[in-house]
A and B are shown apart, each in its own frame.
Chain A
Amino acid sequence: MRTMSTMRRKASRLASAVGAFVLAFGVLGLASPAQADVVNPEMPFKISGNVQNKGEPIAGVTINFAGGGGFAATVVTDADGKFTAGVPEKLADYTVTVDETTLPDGIAVIDNPATEFIEANVQTVTVGPGGRVTMNFFIGQGERHVTSMFDQVVQRLISGLNFGLMLALASVGLSLIYGTTGISNFAHAELVTFGAIATFGLVAVMGEGLLWLAIPIALVLSGVLGWGVDAALWAPLRRRGMGLVQLMIVSIGLSLGIRYTYQFFIGGKTEQLPGSGAERFNLFGSVSLSIIDIVSMGVSVLIIIVFAWWLSASKIGKATRAISDNPSLAASSGIDVDGVVRIVWIIGSVLAGFSGILWAYFRPGIRWDMGGQILLLIFAATTLGGLGTAYGALVGSLIVGILVEGSSLFIPSDLKYVGALVVLIGILLFRPQGILGRKERVG
């Protein structure tokens, strides 16, 4: 039998943020291998995973491994709740035991919230042909064992509504920009990220107490960014009469450039806005909400109502819809197309920026590629509702939000975005104009 050595490796902050993130969200972004506490690193196959309490890693938990041939090993989770153990054989079963006496008082191993399987502190894992297996222990208070299906559904619906409203703020802007200029703006994701990063920067300068002031300033800055990008890039390209495909690829380049600029400044780590770990309180059963969720949903609804009024009743809103319908006719009836497009860019950017702030609370956390993670969901929402129609984007966003959150009741949570993307492809197959779009838009 081999002698066991427990090595403790201090995971870098970057790697830990990325690793915890992959497990928690099944991200759309870049992932890099995370370091973890390792035992038997010289062995060819490995079992790895992490121990979490409601998404928070738990350090210092002892985990025992046992397998055929008298194999035994012990590992202690690191500061990020991670562990990795080398094992000698693949295509073999191992028993993995969490030593519950090393857990903090009052909590135990509970069900994986993403599945309905009852999981105990002793589990058997099979190392497959790939030679690696990942397993996670979810820790929490005992009562979560008895969460009823009804409670789960309500919780998912609320969560989905929250997520959908957040998506809506981003996608109505994308949809308006598409409607008035024809650009499928991939850089919209970076406008989303900008709102969150600007707020974070302002809070860092002004202090946490001035969050209420930092958010409006960040939104103004978002608007300035939208105006600036339009004035510097899109307006000249419009005057050159550049084709739609070219514009789309320009937006992709812009997206990459801005995204890595964010990474240049804030690095690869995840930052938090003040109040993101707010206490959750129970509504009924096991359905719980935080004050942030409620404020976030309330403000989103308010903004969407104001926006809808602006679009349907104000003069510029009407002009915007006229341009979406027929730009040349709008121009020849005396509408200042360039001026309206400029306003659309500003409004779209402000809405995207606000959506970014909400996304920072919903995820939770601020990262350089956080906007890119939901870009395809924003596109899915916009396409589902009908590209170029603002109200369609709203409906599409709510559907996508509830679908993404609701689907994790039935499928593994790291596949929850897949459902929305399948719907995106399906809608283009059966009704490419979307729910509220009109057929002639689809060339």
Chain B
Amino acid sequence: MDFLGIFNSSISFIIAPTTIAYALATLGLALHFGFGGLLNMGMAGFMALGAYGYAIGILSFGLPWYFAAFVGIAASIVFALILGIPTLRLRGDYLAIVTIAAAEIVRLVLLSSAFGGLTGSADGLSGFNGPGGTVTNPTVGAGGFNDSNPIPPGEYGFVPFLDNERTWYLRIVGIIILGLAIFVVWRLVNSPWGRVIKGIREDEDAVRSLGKNVFAYKMQALIIGGVLGALGGLMLAFSTNVNSSVYVTSLTFFLWTALLLGGAATVFGPLAGSIIFWVLQAFLGLVFPALAEAGLMPFTTIQAAQIKYIIVGFALVLLVVFRPQGIFGNKKELTFVK
């Protein structure tokens, strides 16, 4: 069994584009739930809109990639408004069901063959990052995200972070976006605005009696968190094709696991949680099949690859029961208000 290989692959997830995408979306969830007390179970929908808005902007409307990225962000803002206006007055668990349903509506519409010309239906969309377009139409995707890469072709870094110029460009762009996002959220939650938001989480009526417009604050939190989710979706779209089978309810649940792992009411918890989640996922996803192949576990390798998801589920249960504040959270700032 190649322990070093498994170890290296797992460690490389510390700065993988997927990890950065998760960290961005989880940061959005932290703002929604950890600081604002909004039980958003539809983060996958925000991510899907970010990714599809970007891809459709390029493929169907021929926009440059940086404008298309704003289409994705704008779509998530519109989604937050549509979602928030009717639902922000509802109690927590109702909001959860509405957001999960809204995210499923987004996914089913993207999957439907009725809009296949725009969304690619079950096949999803590809070829929007460039470069070079396709065999017969080289202009498609030219000038896309990949063509904006200033790094000369080649392999850079050291094992386990030895990768080509495209992966490094993705990572650098991702880390810059994530760094800015963390900074903005950190300033926000320590501002007067952040204190109002935390106040709403603890006792909505008390904040209302101080003359604050609770609905407006909640809506602002929903939009900012939603934009962070869309940025996560964009990050996924920068790195690979978009397909509606990615943006399922399970994605939202995995984000929640990462959030609660790091600590819901913290700024760096989402980042730490996403890194731990992905490094462990990669490690378990490789080590169990390797053990099964070596005959050390009585399963097939396909079965062994499923074990990591079972562990995620039960780990989420144990986390919520025994350490609801997460690894880095403060027990005094309990985010589970009754």
Measuring CB to CB, which residues of chain A are less than 8 angstroms from any residue of chain B? 22-23, 26, 28-33, 43-46, 48, 88-90, 126, 128-134, 184, 233, 237, 242-246, 248-250, 252-261, 263-264, 267, 372, 376, 379-380, 383, 411-412, 414-415, 417-418, 421-422, 424-425, 428-429, 432, 442-443
Contact = CB atoms under 8 A, between A and B. Distances in A.
Given A88-B136, A128-B117, A418-B109, A254 B317 contact: yes
A256 B316 contact: yes
Contacts of B135: 43-44, 88
Nearest to B260: A249
Nearest to B243: A33
Interface of B: 39, 59-60, 86-87, 90-94, 96-98, 100-102, 104-105, 108-109, 111-114, 116-123, 125-127, 134-137, 243-245, 248-250, 253, 256-257, 260, 299, 302-303, 306-307, 309-310, 312-321, 324, 336-338
A62 to B, nearest CB: 23
B253 A421 contact: no
Contacts of A233: 317
Contacts of A260: 306, 309-310, 312-313
A242 B319 CA distance: 13
Given A243-B338, A253-B315, A442-B90, A89 B118 contact: no
A132 B111 contact: no
B244 to A, nearest CB: 8
B314 A412 contact: no
A379 B101 contact: yes
Nearest to B300: A267
A30 B248 CA distance: 7
Contacts of A249: 256, 260, 316, 320
Contact of B337 (A46, A245, A442): A245
Contact of A379 (B97, B108, B338): B97
Contacts of B306: 260, 263-264
Given A253-B320, A432-B94, A132 B260 contact: no
Secondary structure call for the B interface: helix
Contact of A256 (B92, B105, B137, B309): B309
A184 B93 contact: yes
30 contacts: A26-B108, A29-B248, A32-B245, A33-B122, A44-B135, A89-B136, A130-B119, A131-B134, A134-B121, A245-B93, A249-B256, A250-B316, A252-B316, A253-B315, A253-B316, A257-B312, A257-B313, A267-B302, A379-B101, A380-B101, A383-B97, A414-B108, A414-B111, A414-B114, A417-B108, A418-B105, A421-B108, A429-B87, A432-B94, A442-B90
A30 B91 contact: no
Nearest to B123: A132
Given A253-B316, A429-B86, A264 B121 contact: no
Nearest to A237: B321
B317 A31 contact: no
A4 B260 CA distance: 54
Contacts of B59: 129-131
A379 B99 CA distance: 12
Contacts of B256: 249, 252
Given A248-B96, A253-B316, A243 B337 contact: yes
A245 B92 contact: yes
A134 B117 contact: no
- Most chain A CB within 10 A, of B90, B91, B309, B321, is at B321
Contacts of B136: 44, 88-89
Nearest to A423: B101
Contacts of A425: 86-87, 98, 101-102
Nearest to B317: A253
Contacts of A379: 97, 101
A31 B112 contact: no
Contacts of B121: 132-134
A113 to B, nearest CB: 14
A137 to B, nearest CB: 13
Contacts of B307: 264
Contacts of A242: 321
B113 A134 contact: yes
B92 to A, nearest CB: 5
Contacts of B250: 30, 256
Contacts of B90: 428, 432, 442
A48 B114 contact: no
- Most chain A CB within 10 A, of B91, B257, B320, is at B320
Given A132-B120, A257-B317, A443-B91, A376 B338 contact: no
A90 B120 CA distance: 12
B310 A264 contact: yes
Given A31-B111, A418-B105, A418-B109, A428 B94 contact: yes
A249 B125 CA distance: 33
Contacts of A245: 39, 92-93, 336-338
A38 to B, nearest CB: 13
Contacts of B98: 424-425, 428
A236 to B, nearest CB: 9
Contacts of B108: 26, 28, 414-415, 417-418, 421
A12 to B, nearest CB: 11
Contacts of A252: 253, 256, 316
A128 to B, nearest CB: 3
User: What 10 A-B pairs are tightest by C-beta distance, nearest first?
Assistant: A257-B313, A253-B316, A128-B117, A256-B313, A44-B134, A130-B120, A260-B309, A253-B317, A429-B86, A443-B91
B64 to A, nearest CB: 16
A246 B245 contact: no
Nearest to A429: B86
Contact of B313 (A130, A133, A253): A253
A128 B113 CA distance: 12
A254 B59 CA distance: 40
Nearest to B62: A129
Given A128-B118, A245-B337, A256-B253, A428 B87 contact: yes
A442 B89 CA distance: 10
Given A126-B117, A130-B118, A184-B97, 10 more contacts: A132-B116, A184-B93, A245-B92, A250-B317, A250-B320, A253-B253, A256-B309, A256-B313, A257-B313, A428-B90
A272 to B, nearest CB: 21
A115 B301 CA distance: 43
B123 to A, nearest CB: 4
A397 to B, nearest CB: 16
A130 B337 contact: no
Given A130-B59, A132-B121, A415 B109 contact: yes
Contacts of B94: 383, 428, 432, 442
Contacts of B60: 128-130
